Amino acid sequence: MKGLRALWLIARHTWVEVVLSRVFSIFGLLAAALVCASIFLTNFHFGSAEVRFINDLGQGAISLFGSILVVTLAAQLFFREIEQRTVLPILARPVTRSQFLLGKFLGTLAPILVFVLGILILLTLLLWWRSSSLEQDPSVNKAVLPLLLAEAWTSGFFQMLKFAVLGSMVFAVASFSQSFSYTVSMGFALFFASHLVHLAIDFYREGENLFSQGLAFFFAYALPDFRIFNEPPADPDFLKAILYASTYSLIYLFVATRFFQRREL
């Protein structure tokens, strides 16, 4: 229980740091502004229901700003403790390095969850308002609101899984990296690369020789496929998605704790 208490205290402290940080406030407000602005951009939707356009934009805001928050906050909070040497008194107590790292990870993820929930609630209100305003207009192609809301919340859940994997990747890199900028750069590089693993899969399937196929196979499976989280199907298998995300997250966190154990502070 002492271990859990230490974890909880570090996570709670990290939560407070994140919530008070300017990065979190700015990107949170930007995401909310983009979602609200969607009702003014509906003239630009073609061939789709207006409410579906609003939903798509909301999902885009969660994905884009959430990813930026995860990468920057994870790296910032980790390196701040090390650069300011505040990690030393923490580790002088009966707190293991693993507890410290996991506490930081959980404390970073919790506000991201609040961010996602906040945007989803805003999106729900917007979709409900727009849908009832459009009820009397038969010329407008309307999507069914309950289905759309289910889709929005399912997508939000999958985005949260993605943030958990991305966050654990960043912590893994941070655990052996010597600088904040390297960690952030690698974090974004891994973020983009994880969206493009399907190209490596295609290259592997079409490979002409053993060497290129082997190389393509390695890159195809060296990173998680973030398309799984960006494009959940109509009837998603939540359990398998959670298992997929958890496997990657646990392995990255294991790597992070192993490197952090050996790190000189």
Residue ranges binding another protein (CB under 8 A): 41, 44-48, 52-53, 55-64, 155, 159, 172-173, 176, 186, 191-192, 195-196, 198-199, 202, 218, 220-225, 227-228, 230-231, 233, 237, 240-241, 243-244, 247-248, 251-252, 254-255, 259, 262
Residue 211 CB, shortest distance to another protein, in Å, is: 17
Residue 94 CB, shortest distance to another protein, in Å, is: 27
Cα 195 to its chain centre, rounded Å, is 13
Amino acid at 218: F
Pick the closer one to another protein by CB: 10 or 184.
184
Residue 241 CB, shortest distance to another protein, in Å, is: 6
Q: Using DSSP, state whether 91 is helix, strand or coil.
A: helix
Residue 169 CB, shortest distance to another protein, in Å, is: 8
Residue 53 CB, shortest distance to another protein, in Å, is: 6
CB burial class (10 A; 0-12, 13-18, 19+) of residue 88? exposed
Query: Can you read off the two tokens belonging to residue 69?
Result: 């928050």
Pick the closer one to another protein by CB: 22 or 44.
44
Pick the closer one to another protein by CB: 14 or 155.
155
Cβ-contact 229, 162 below 8 angstroms: yes
CB burial class (10 A; 0-12, 13-18, 19+) of residue 196? middle
131-135 LR contacts (CB < 8 Å, sep 24+): 131/51, 134/50, 134/51
Pick the closer one to another protein by CB: 90 or 151.
151
